[in-house]
Amino acid sequence: MNNFTYSKASTVQDAVNRVQQGPEAKFVAGGTNLIDLMKYHVITTDALIDVNHVEGYHAIEARGEGGIRLGAFMTNAKTAYHPIIEQQYPLLSRAILAGASAQIRNMATNGGNLLQRTRCYYFYDVNTPCNKREPGSGCSAIGGYNRIMAILGASESCIAVFPSDMCVALAALEAKVNISGPHGDRSLAFTDFHRLPGNTPDIDNNLSHGEIITSIDLPSKGFSDNYSYLKLRDRNSYAFALVSVATALELEDGIVRESRIALGGVAHKPWRSAEGEAFLQGKEATKENFTRVAEIILTGAAGYQYNSFKIELAKRAIVRNCMMALNPETQLPGAQPSR
């Protein structure tokens, strides 16, 4: 780790002011990804601004118009185990608990979860070219070992995937991200928060330097009757997804009134398909229809030397997870496939 100054912010405004001291200044909350990246010299900073002591953003509060607000500095564990999340937004609870380990979930915060970086091996290895780490240096993953990389929305510059589980559920639930910054407050729809790599893969999301996530809003609809999160990975627990799926269904007499299907581990952001979800509307909730949706969602998917298997894996995971959403009680700890 390089040398840096450390200070504690007392308010959001104070944090925003402090981080503008320099272009390399960074906020730290849980620190579980940032401090690791600093150890690898992937990220250097000259000033860390600790926001953990800023009061007012560590809880869940009800909103007048229905729905709830998740404090950005609340931990992932406290969020996942909160009675409101367990009962009204079980998809979110399941997704959070499928990510990382219990220790890391006790540290990692909701805002930080959105801001974690890819786990692409080449991004972490400062001795290899990587356009995300060093723009213009090239992508080592495209011609390299790319088992975990993207099959949707990738570019010639970058085929890294966004690793979060929590964000896959937030995308399905159509959350909103609330942001404060030097020019005031603003909100972004969840699908507009993260971005595809294009030719600027060094930019993960649409947050500007100096801006901070203060909270995440969830609409009132939690899909608590028919939901499921499935995570497929190289070991059963404590590993990032090869493919994950968040499914939320609203059913009426076996007919799909509304569906949300979001994929993780396949793209530079949580992946949703308006065409796929539109197809399901008004259709019977059957394996045949879920199979057709899977085909629609994976339209345009492209694999590389070692990750082409993910295309078929994603299709099967969608079908499997939609079936599990019909009987959410069949889900297993860690979002493993049901037996």
Partner 1 sequence: MAILSIVNQNSCEEEFSLREVPLKINGKLVNLQLRPWVSLLDALREYAGLTGTKKGCDHGQCGACTVLCDGERILSCLTLAVMKEDAEITTIEGVGTENELHPLQKAFIAHDAFQCGYCTPGQICSAIGMLNEGKAQNREDVKELMSGNLCRCGANSNIIDAIMEVKNETI
Of these, 81, 145, 195, 308, which contacts partner 1 (CB under 8 A)? 81
For partner 1, the binding residues in 140-199 under the rule CB under 8 A are none
Of these, 14, 17, 47, 202, which contacts partner 1 (CB under 8 A)? 47
**Based on CB atoms, which residue is closest to partner 1, 73 or 190?**
73
Q: In a 3-state reduction of DSSP, which class is residue 110? A: helix
212 lies in the binding site for partner 1 (CB under 8 A)? no
251 lies in the binding site for partner 1 (CB under 8 A)? no
84 lies in the binding site for partner 1 (CB under 8 A)? no
338 lies in the binding site for partner 1 (CB under 8 A)? no
Options 32-40, 54-62, 184-192, 210-218: segment touching partner 1 (CB under 8 A): 32-40
- For strands 68-71 and 212-218, give the pairing: antiparallel
Taking the complex as a whole, the smallest distance from the CB of residue 111 to partner 1 amounts, in Å, to 16
Residue 214 contacts residue 72 (beta carbons within 8 Å): yes
**Based on CB atoms, which residue is closest to partner 1, 79 or 157?**
79
Question: If 0-12 CB within 10 Å is exposed, 13-18 middle and 19+ buried, where does residue 134 land?
Answer: middle
Options 24-32, 171-179, 226-234, 243-251: segment touching partner 1 (CB under 8 A): 24-32
333 lies in the binding site for partner 1 (CB under 8 A)? yes
Any residues with CB less than 8 A from the CB of 231 and at least 6 apart, and which? 98, 165, 241, 244, 264, 334, 335, 336
14 lies in the binding site for partner 1 (CB under 8 A)? no
Taking the complex as a whole, the smallest distance from the CB of residue 117 to partner 1 amounts, in Å, to 13
Closest CA to 268 of 322, 208, 193: 193
39 lies in the binding site for partner 1 (CB under 8 A)? yes
32 lies in the binding site for partner 1 (CB under 8 A)? yes
Closest CA to 238 of 74, 37, 109, 97: 97
305 lies in the binding site for partner 1 (CB under 8 A)? no
Return d(Cα 229, Cα 170) in angstroms, integer: 12
**Based on CB atoms, which residue is closest to partner 1, 1 or 62?**
1
294 lies in the binding site for partner 1 (CB under 8 A)? no
Residue 122 contacts residue 147 (beta carbons within 8 Å): no
Of these, 14, 17, 46, 224, which contacts partner 1 (CB under 8 A)? 46
Return d(Cα 184, Cα 186) in angstroms, integer: 7
Q: For residue 333, how many other CB atoms are within 10 A of its CB?
A: 10
Q: What's the number of CA atoms in the CB half-sphere (13 Å) around residue 321? A: 32
Taking the complex as a whole, the smallest distance from the CB of residue 60 to partner 1 amounts, in Å, to 18
Taking the complex as a whole, the smallest distance from the CB of residue 272 to partner 1 amounts, in Å, to 28
Residue 13 contacts residue 51 (beta carbons within 8 Å): no
For partner 1, the binding residues in 90-149 under the rule CB under 8 A are 100-104, 106-107
Of these, 11, 14, 17, 35, which contacts partner 1 (CB under 8 A)? 35
Closest CA to 229 of 298, 148, 170: 170
Residue 102 contacts residue 116 (beta carbons within 8 Å): no
Closest CA to 245 of 203, 219, 276: 276
Question: If 0-12 CB within 10 Å is exposed, 13-18 middle and 19+ buried, where does residue 17 land?
Answer: middle
Only one residue has tokens 């203060």, namely 214
Total of residues contacting partner 1 (CB under 8 A) = 40
Options 4-12, 140-148, 187-195, 289-297: segment touching partner 1 (CB under 8 A): 4-12
Positions in the binding site for partner 1 (CB under 8 A) = 1-7, 21-25, 28, 31-32, 35-36, 38-40, 46-48, 50, 52, 77, 81, 100-104, 106-107, 236-238, 332-334
